[in-house]
A and B are shown apart, each in its own frame.
Chain A
């Protein structure tokens, strides 16, 4: 295949701005997908993706297109995940392309996420083709959208394509412009092999399948190869292209996009961002940009029934095959028993994992409150990483606690700016900048602790702005904070599942809320049960669950005896479902309700 006839591109768009529909139209227009097998959001393969209208896994597709000049071109569309949690995956997908369609909704204009991804694409040298979509909407303001493209993103919107993916308008123009404007892939087919893994999936029969972009050299079926980051060597068993199904070919050369299967057992051996090279004649260096992805949000997953622990482990292992960003390790909680501490790229990522475990693997689970990873500088100078409250050493051994911060960018209509600033302030945000995008819309930027962001920032932003704001963030590293670990004691025993980390000024308030909630949920026992919140040895809140005073119904003659016994058995059965902490039985709901305390406080 002549490199001159290959175009590799992706689509950058905000959620809801019509990316999936546009992709569907391109597939139809180029005849890539038989109209009979066509379905909406063709490239979103997961049930969840369709439901939520988001893309989690990027699926590449190869289209043959005969341009107006009569030449047959190969267009590789590399879909990108659309959520900020997956920005590393986005960056790898972008690295596999030479250009991008920058899609903006004609009615809503540029959103925060679009800007972030457009910048990322521009930094990587991609050619951007602006597309103003949804011009069929009555509320469409294409000129306004074009102006925002120029002013906010800084692209030349002069030639922006006006399109309606829904009605099929502008599709031919988009295809022509891809051919005309997106650069021909560079690279030397004769140089040592360098292929970028921009995504991977797990297949039950063939093992891990890497999605690759050949940057230099050639990759042949049967060739011996090496993964440069992990050092693993093996044979390329099958290579192929996406037509859109996987179709084997004999060779992929510089500029082409395809897949590689090599009996790789786990996704860790072939990581996204790694470079595949020739096993015999390896390249001098790997392609730039590889980094090991580190989870930023952690939580515990516990089976509802202890016996389901092995089932949960199997499900997590299988899920991980398809999603290398998930990390997990066994942990035990005195309250919840055996479970796993799991790490995720963000809250959405966590939520999706939880939902997939329940839906696809039928595992009933309890998720503990999410937390970020903390850095703890000990008095002896050692730096620890703690991804759960119980990793914290004694207060006396802590010199300093650092927590991750993000730079948050919010696009918001000017009428809501005061509320959004208040929200950022409440979340311990530090003002960074503010500028007008248009007379009606502002760009606000804050430096904010990630921990505050993950709790419910997104939901609150949506509700305070009636959905008119959009946000994006990037990690800006760790900073020292005045954080404390608050322990919760039930009948003098600390319950690990209830411990939490928070800013010292919020400790009393949060402690109150937790203790009050637990007091409501813990049934009366035969003795008084104190519930306390404490920082180190210092108790900051205390409430008592008063003891039971009466629990007996008289009458018990003849036949009553059997009935009474059955009642007692039932009563006991009910208690068995509770978790036993010392001498106190705590119902499951307490562990779940606890997660919602932050949210309920607002109601």
Chain B
């Protein structure tokens, strides 16, 4: 196993004793390759020194912090329990403990102008070598449902600015939402975009195995009591659909599609069809070199309209 990601929002919810037993289970059940990338998600308000100590003594390399913003007002609006001081402290702690840390920021929040957004990017990029930016959406069934959040075209200046600003600070946009300095890519996430196999453990976790995608049952008790496979939903992709999905996922990253490998994996016909669909689009959306096609900065901004041609 090359990567392990302990996520689900707040693994710091577990106390040190719980963590010790979790580590024991994982060590007994899985075989880690040398140089395995182990990441943990954490929220600034629940991260403490005990966690750090445990993780440091185990295999954890990356800590991904749900920073969201450095503006008190925005954090309050989002209903986050931490403030900007805790966020900075958490980042400092990670650095002191030698973790490679990553942070998430959210844009498209009402009242968030370019000045506030610039501030968020400036502070976070001073601490980390990896960061992700997400546009806020008001999904039905969530506390934000019905809120007036920024539309795609309203969010354009913010996203465009992030691309430019992070670039000027040495970050490479290696995926639609992901930026990294010094090649600190998140290898775990990359495996999603490479359509790699992922074993999903725990309630509500997703996994993928050679064309089969599944989701575990969500309620904890049902997950624990389930005999046999805990899947509550699966889909199995036909070869052609796998190819289309693989192309779309590959185009999320700066490495894009390598035609030679793609043809070998999925065959000549579908490769030609997808290649043709892409060639009908304006050329400035793409970067083509060394037998690869990937999205340009502009292409990243217009992903949906491009991928739509591939489904």
Contacts and interface: CB of A to CB of B under 8 A. Distances in A.
Contact of B192 (A525, A552, A561, A583): A561
A554 B134 contact: yes
Grouping DSSP codes into helix (H, G, I), strand (E, B) and loop, the A interface class, with mixed when no group exceeds half, is loop
A552 B304 contact: yes
A551 B132 contact: no
Nearest to A555: B134
Contacts of A569: 311
A549 B206 contact: no
A332 interface: no
Interface residues of B, number: 45
B193 to A, nearest CB: 8
Contacts of B300: 552
B302 interface: yes
A562 B311 CA distance: 12
Interface string B284-311: 0100000000000000111111111111
Given A550-B153, A558-B198, A561-B192, A575 B301 contact: no
A555 B213 CA distance: 18
A557 B192 contact: yes
Interface in A527-566: 527, 548-559, 561-562, 564-565
15 contacts: A526-B281, A526-B285, A526-B302, A527-B282, A548-B305, A549-B156, A553-B304, A554-B133, A555-B177, A559-B206, A561-B213, A565-B311, A567-B304, A568-B311, A572-B309
A264 B280 CA distance: 56
A571 interface: yes
B172 interface: no
Contact of A558 (B200, B302, B303): B200
Given A549-B301, A562-B235, A556 B252 contact: yes
A553 B301 CA distance: 9
Contacts of A549: 153, 156, 160, 301-302
A568 B306 CA distance: 10
Interface in B200-243: 200, 205-208, 213, 215, 235
Given A554-B133, A554-B177, A556-B176, A583 B280 contact: yes
B308 A575 contact: yes
Contacts of B306: 526
B238 to A, nearest CB: 13
B135 interface: yes
Contacts of A525: 305
A527 B132 CA distance: 28
B63 interface: no
A227 B311 CA distance: 62
A565 to B, nearest CB: 6
B239 to A, nearest CB: 15
Given A526-B282, A559-B215, A572-B308, A553 B135 contact: yes
A559 B189 CA distance: 12
A558 B308 contact: no
Contacts of B282: 526-527
B248 A562 contact: no
Contacts of B281: 526
B249 interface: yes
Contacts of B137: 553
Nearest to A568: B311
A330 to B, nearest CB: 31
Contacts of B309: 572
B282 to A, nearest CB: 5
Contacts of A551: 152, 301-305
B155 interface: yes
A17 to B, nearest CB: 56
Contacts of B70: none
Contacts of A553: 135, 137, 152, 304
Given A526-B281, A549-B301, A565 B135 contact: no
B248 to A, nearest CB: 7
B165 to A, nearest CB: 16
Contacts of B99: none
A567 B304 CA distance: 9
Contacts of A567: 304
Interface in A124-176: none
